[in-house]
């Protein structure tokens, strides 16, 4: 069975789960947001560059949603998501202009440094941002419909699922395109890429902006789903969770981000319920097992197994 068909089947299962158990809608939406954000982290990771601060784009998008909603109380939810995504993606485009000039640990730590500055400013500018208490985002109309909480969550769940499928499809199209192959080429031989007439900075910048787009979209949806925007959305621990999810699922296919997010949320919720004092230990052990058994991630391991079977036939 192709991964595309598997993705569609899983999306139907997730939708059915949300409709059958209304209490799970918010959990599923937030889990999909993690998957979208991890999809963004996976793109630069394909070039060998791991970001430890990508959650800042989700944070910027979430606060953009909060500010626009506060300035225009009658704004539609779709407009809020679009505004937050566009503003944060533009921020990613500007930030990427100087971050893509660095490689390795410098790339990762520079992203972390920028994210920490943003989180610090959001926490200190209390009169504007509400400080660590954050800003409340009231439930808006969506697509022109004013709904109660249950109906709003259903609409948002369907919207998030559609966006996740579209983002996954675009991710696959991009990594198989010339730009995607060039991005992968950065990992193996950047000098050879330059000799071919391609700018390494430009190639990585394009990937960085697209990755920022995915994370920004997740942050905008997250703001409406949670109804509260705080600086913690962009914290270094949140960025670390995104890297964790990316390693779990792998970067070879868009499905990896969502599988990794599902496993992460399942382990986190189960461990925090039954092993409240040491749930981080269980998460760490899970990551260790995946790194040893499947260094390319769960989806990467499945793809290798599929290729091996195909070679034997």
Per-residue pLDDT tens digits for 140-176: 888 877 778 888 888 999 999 999 999 999 999 999 9
Q: What's the pLDDT score for residue 27?
A: 87
pLDDT digits (tens, 9 = 90+) for 49-61: 888 999 999 999 9
Q: What's the pLDDT score for residue 254?
A: 86
pLDDT digits (tens, 9 = 90+) for 105-154: 899 999 999 999 999 999 898 888 888 888 999 888 888 777 788 888 88
Picking from 55, 58, 57, 79, the residue whose alpha carbon sits closest to that of residue 69 is 79
Which residue matches tokens 């399942």?
266
Q: Residue 306 pLDDT more than 80? A: no
pLDDT digits (tens, 9 = 90+) for 196-255: 778 888 889 999 999 999 999 999 999 999 989 999 999 888 998 999 899 888 888 888
- Cα gap 282→305, rounded to integer Å: 27
Computed over its alpha carbons, how large is the radius of gyration of the chain? 19
N-to-C CA span, the chain = 16
Task: Name, in order, each residue with C-beta under 8 angstroms of 177's C-beta and a sequence gap of 6 or more.
Answer: none
Q: What's the pLDDT score for residue 57?
A: 96
48, exposed or middle or buried, with CB in 10 Å at 0-12, 13-18, 19+?
middle
- Cα gap 289→294, rounded to integer Å: 8
Q: Residue 280 pLDDT more than 80? A: no
- Residue 251, phi then psi, degrees to nearest 5: -115, 5
Q: What's the pLDDT score for residue 313?
A: 53
Tokens of 296: 């390319």
Task: Name, in order, each residue with C-beta under 8 angstroms of 219's C-beta and a sequence gap of 6 or more.
Answer: 33, 37, 57, 58, 59, 60, 61, 62, 65, 84, 88, 233
- Cα gap 238→231, rounded to integer Å: 11
- Cα gap 271→78, rounded to integer Å: 35
Q: What's the pLDDT score for residue 54?
A: 92
Q: Using CA atoms of 141, 220, 67, 73 in order, give the dihedral in degrees to the nearest 10.
A: 0
Average pLDDT (260-268) is 86
- Cα gap 264→242, rounded to integer Å: 10
Q: What's the pLDDT score for residue 311?
A: 57
Picking from 269, 31, 282, 260, the residue whose alpha carbon sits closest to that of residue 161 is 31
Q: Using CA atoms of 85, 53, 117, 134 in order, give the dihedral in degrees to the nearest 10.
A: 50
Which residue matches tokens 């919720």?
269
Q: What's the pLDDT score for residue 4?
A: 65
pLDDT digits (tens, 9 = 90+) for 179-200: 888 888 888 777 777 877 788 8
């Amino acid at each position: 069975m192709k991964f595309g068909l598997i993705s569609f089947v899983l999306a139907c299962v997730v939708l059915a789960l949300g409709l059958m158990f209304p209490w799970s809608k918010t959990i599923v939406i937030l889990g999909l947001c993690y998957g979208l954000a991890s999809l963004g982290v996976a793109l630069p990771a394909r070039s060998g560059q791991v970001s430890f601060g990508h959650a800042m784009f989700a944070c910027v998008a979430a606060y953009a949603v909060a500010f626009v909603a506060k300035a225009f109380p009658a704004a539609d939810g779709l407009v809020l998501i679009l505004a937050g995504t566009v503003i944060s993606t533009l921020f990613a485009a500007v930030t990427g202009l100087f971050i893509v000039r660095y490689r390795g640990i410098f790339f990762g730590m520079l992203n972390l440094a920028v994210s920490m500055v943003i989180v610090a400013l959001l926490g200190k500018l209390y009169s504007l941002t509400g400080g660590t208490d954050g800003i409340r985002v009231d439930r808006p109309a969506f697509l022109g419909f004013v709904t109660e909480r249950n109906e709003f969550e259903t609409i948002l769940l369907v919207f998030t699922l559609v966006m996740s499928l579209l983002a996954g499809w675009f991710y696959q199209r991009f990594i198989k395109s010339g730009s995607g192959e060039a991005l992968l080429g950065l990992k193996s031989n950047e000098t050879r890429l330059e000799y071919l007439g391609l700018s390494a900075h430009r190639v990585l910048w394009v990937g960085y902006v697209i990755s920022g787009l995915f994370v920004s979209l997740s942050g905008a949806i997250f703001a409406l789903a949670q109804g509260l925007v705080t600086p913690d959305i962009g914290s270094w621990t949140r960025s670390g969770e995104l890297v964790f999810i990316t390693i779990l699922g792998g970067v070879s296919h868009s499905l990896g981000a969502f599988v990794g997010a599902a496993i992460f949320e399942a382990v986190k919720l189960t461990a925090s319920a039954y092993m409240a004092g040491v749930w981080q230990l269980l998460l760490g052990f899970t990551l260790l097992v995946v790194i040893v058994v499947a260094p390319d991630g769960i989806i990467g391991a499945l793809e290798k197994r599929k290729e091996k079977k195909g070679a034997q036939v």
